[in-house]
Amino acid sequence: MIAVRDLALRVGGKPLLASMSFEIGAGEFVGILGRNGAGKTTLLRALAGLHPAEGGSVALNSRGIAAFSPAERSRAIAFVTSDDVFADRLTVREVVAAGRYPHHRWWQWTPEPQDAQAIAGALEAVELQSFADREFATLSSGERQRVWIALAIAQEAPLLFLDEPTSHLDLRAAQHILALLRRQVKAGKSVVCVLHDPNEAAAYADRAMLLAGGGILAFEEKELVLTPALLEQAYGLKMESVATASGARRIFPSAS
Amino acid sequence: MILRFAALAAGLLAVAAGALLVGGTELSPGAIGNALLHPNSGEVATIVWQLRLPRIAIGAFVGAALAIAGALLQGLLRNPLVDPYLTGVSAGAAVAIVLSISAGVAAAAVPALGFAAGLATAVTVAALARRGASLDATRLILAGVSLSSLFAAVIALVLTRVQGGGSAPAIVSWLAGTLSGRSWGDMFFAAPYALLGAILAFLSAPALNALRLGDVRAAAVGVDVGRAQWTILASSSLLAASAVTLSGTIGFVGLIVPHVARRMVGSDARYVLAASALLGAALTIVADALSRTLFAPAEIPIGVLLAFIGVPAFLYLYLRDRRTAAA
């Protein structure tokens, strides 16, 4: 679905990432990891067509992302950021309704029946049906994150990009988010997700991308990427991996 | 929602009908009704058609324009304390009007000069606030505030120079905001620009809804953020400039009415804009009726009166909000 060729990105005039080439297919869950400042968010924004490429190309279904109109692009790609916002008196339903924007023509002022359906379906997917009329400002961080994801689901785009959806969340809320993203993958969407915890990526993603040194250090099946050796290289920390009783592997920075 | 809008529209009509009864000459409802049906039937008809109706219509026009402009800017900048004069529209218009009155420019040309200068100021402020293709909210506020204070200084300078001269009362009355002495012709001059502004405003409502969630989210759902910002800014500037050229600087309508509208119809921009228009029109008609009756035959400038009503009303809303937020 997404094909990246020789992509180079700059932020604030400084080169950040260069010579990246990869593909992401339908029905895939990709986790992007790397140090703060490694370029994870910028890369995700570039993939979503929200950050211009300095060189190379991002193509969606063989068509350059820059050639899409904003509405066309948003019908194909939903981008979730957890930046906070002054939500005034917005209800959860009103926030999620913003996801229907790309399905309306610019003069269209009133919603259509399929908008209500899409919004209800999105709230159901994140298990917030009973929150529809609550004020957004009264929700917890975990609930807000689910609302942002519901907004993206209401867009009905086949690609779902998320920037750190589990940061600032407690363990339970984070697992909840990742499980519901997994269900979206099962339903046929592709999910690309910036994560900080390699164990989250190991548990939920199919492939993992490790960014370091101004480019991609590794992008493979997660078992091949989330190894002590590669993570040490990316984070500059000694790592160790232990097997749990159930046989799964967990990876940690070793105490020095 | 339909009921709420029906109530707002009915309220506006009732207020307008009530304002028809108010004036220096006492007229009975029957006489006014008759005059409304027969526009050329003599003295009463002249009072109704040439004095009271235009004044009510202009009040409604100015109030609706300021309230929509305020709702637009508050939404665009995600800041509830913003008023439509933030872009320097009123200060720019004021400088041009004050200078042209004191220079003795023909009265007919003054509103056009004010309108042009108001828009020119808004364009300058917008240019200063530009960052790439989009708009920087902090820069917009800084540019608007600094240009406005520069213009206020120019006005103060002119006023000290013309003190005692013939043009001072006209300048002061304009600065304080008034609907007196305006005619249908003045309104028809401003109407096309305000209409264009209102159409742009309502077309921008869905984008405004998305922009409330932040620029990145708006872009992610397909809003052309730069274009939406410029459209909203142009729309609010056209509306505010049309209002200011008609009535001078009437404050508080553009600041408070959107708040009241949001309390009544929620925060969906489509409803907020429509409710703001109806409420702004009604409030301005009432304030104008009060301004010419409270101390009749003397008239208090409507801008002054609105400040007297508006500040306590605003403080009340603010304190009540704070209490409910704390509870």
| pLDDT > 80? residue B162 | no
CB contacts of A52 in chain B (<8 Å) are none
What's phi and psi for A116, nearest 5 deg? Answer: -60, -40
Q: Comparing C-alpha atoms, which of A234, A233, A227 is closest to residue A252?
A: A227
CATH number at residue A149: 3.40.50.300
The per-residue pLDDT for B98 is 87
Contact between B107 and B51 (Cβ < 8 Å): no
Element (H, E) at A10: strand A2-11
pLDDT at B326 over 60: no
Please check whether residue A99 touches B, CB under 8 A.
yes
- Using the beta-carbon criterion (under 8 Å), do A101 and B223 form an inter-chain contact? yes
Which residue in B152, B154, B147 sits closest to B121, CA to CA?
B147
Using one digit for the tens of pLDDT, what is the confidence trace for A154-184? Answer: 999 999 999 999 988 889 889 999 999 999 9
Ramachandran bin of B42, using left for φ above 0, alpha for ψ from -120 to 50, beta for the remaining angles: left
Contact A83 B217 (CB under 8 A): yes
Q: What is the pLDDT of residue B163?
A: 66
Domain total in chain A: 1
- Residue B106 is predicted with a pLDDT of 78
Q: What dihedral do alpha carbons B151, B155, B158, B159 form, nearest 10°?
A: -170
Binning pLDDT at 50, 70 and 90, where does residue B295 land? confident
Spatial separation of the C-alpha atoms in residues B220 and A19, rounded to whole Å: 25
The average confidence (pLDDT) of chain A is 92
Which of B208, B226, B219 is CA-nearest to residue B273? B208
Average of per-residue pLDDT values in chain B: 87
Question: Nearest by CB to B220, which of A74, A97, A109?
Answer: A74
Closest-CA residue of B relative to A71 is B222
- Residue A240 has φ and ψ, to the nearest 5°, of -135, 155
pLDDT-based confidence at A256, cuts 50/70/90? low
The answer, yes or no, to whether residue B325 has pLDDT greater than 70, is no
The reply to whether residue B203 touches residue A107, judged by beta carbons under 8 angstroms, is yes
Q: What is the tens place of the pLDDT at every residue in A115-126?
A: 999 999 999 999
Cβ contacts (< 8 Å) between A95 and chain B: which residues? 213
User: Mean pLDDT highest for which of A16-30, B101-115, B286-300?
Assistant: A16-30
Q: Domain containing A62: what range?
A: 2-253
Query: Which residues of chain B have a CB within 8 Å of the CB of A83?
Result: 214, 216-217
pLDDT of residue B44: 85
Residue A230 has pLDDT above 80, yes or no: yes
Contact status of A90 with chain B (Cβ, < 8 Å)? yes
Q: What one-character DSSP code corresponds to residue B289?
A: H
Closest CA to A165 of A192, A138, A199, A130: A192
**Mean pLDDT calculated for residue range A49-61:** 94
pLDDT at A215 over 70: yes
Greater model confidence, B25 or B218: B218
Contact B262 A83 (CB under 8 A): no
Q: Give the DSSP letter string of B109-176.
A: GHHHHHHHHHHHHHHHHHHHTEETTEE-HHHHHHHHHHHHHHHHHHHHHHHHHHTTSTTHHHHHHHHH
Which tokens in the block code for residue B143? Answer: 């540019």
Confidence of residue B327 (pLDDT cuts 50, 70, 90): low
Indicate the helix (H) or strand (E) that contains A163. strand A159-163
* pLDDT at position B167 over 80: no
How many domains are contained in chain B?
A: 1
Distances (CA, A) of A99 to A94, A102, B252: 10, 7, 34
Give the residue from chain A lying closest to B220, CA to CA.
A79
Q: Answer positive or negative: Cα dihedral of B70, B76, B81, B82.
A: negative
B206 inside 8 A of chain A by CB? yes
CA distance A90 to chain B (A): 6
Question: CB distance from B268 to chain A under 8 Å?
Answer: yes
Of B206, B213, B222, the CB nearest to A73: B222
CATH number at residue B218: 1.10.3470.10
Among candidates A50, A106, A155 on the partner chain, residue whose Cβ is nearest the Cβ of B216: A50
pLDDT at A153: 95
* Shortest Cα distance, chain A CAs vs residue B212, angstroms: 7
Give the distance from residue B155's alpha carbon to the nearest chain A alpha carbon, in angstroms: 37
Interface of A with B in 149-168 (CB under 8 A): 151-152, 155
For B71-110, how does the pLDDT look when each residue is reduced to its tens digit (9 = 90+)? Answer: 999 999 888 888 888 888 888 988 998 888 888 887 778 8
What pTM was computed for the model?
0.89
Contact A94 B206 (CB under 8 A): no
| pLDDT surpasses 80 at A88 | no
Question: Is residue B78 within 8 angstroms of chain A, CB to CB?
Answer: yes
Contacts of B226 in chain A (CB under 8 A): none
3-state secondary structure at position B12: helix
Query: Of A34-43, A68-77, A176-185, B47-56, where does mean pLDDT reach its minimum?
Result: B47-56
d(CA B219, CA B210): 9
Provide the 10 A C-beta neighbour count for residue B37: 9
Q: Which domain holds residue B64?
A: 2-326
Predicted pLDDT at B117: 92
Q: What is the pLDDT of residue A132?
A: 94
Residues of A whose CB is below 8 A from B317? none
Q: Which residue of B217, B263, B268 is the best one to mutate when testing the A interface, meaning the one whose CB has the most A CBs within 10 A?
A: B217
Q: What's the pLDDT score for residue B137?
A: 84
ipTM value? 0.91
* pLDDT above 70 for B324: no
Looking at beta carbons, which residues of chain A come within 8 Å of B214? Answer: 81, 83, 85
CA pair distance B115, B92, nearest whole angstrom: 9
pLDDT category at A87 given cuts 50, 70, 90 is: low
pLDDT-based confidence at residue A111 (cuts at 50, 70, 90): confident
Optimal mutation site among A90, A136, A162, interface B, most CBs of chain B within 10 A: A90
**Is residue A235 predicted with pLDDT exceeding 60?**
yes
CA distance linking residue B69 with residue B242, whole number of Å: 11
Q: In whole angstroms, what is the distance from residue B157 CA to residue B177 CA?
A: 19
* Closest partner CB to A74 (pick from B202, B212, B222): B222
Is the N-terminal amide bond of B297 cis, ω within 30° of 0?
yes
Cα→Cα distances A195→A35, A43, A167, A211, B113, Å: 10, 13, 8, 12, 58
> What is the pLDDT confidence band of residue B164, given thresholds at 50, 70 and 90?
low
Tell me which H or E stretch contains A233.
helix A228-235
Count Cβ atoms below 10 Å from residue B87 Cβ, excluding itself. Answer: 32
CA distance A252 to chain B (A): 34
Measured between CB atoms, does B270 come within 8 Å of chain A?
Answer: yes
Model pLDDT, residue B135: 85
Q: What is the pLDDT of residue B272?
A: 94
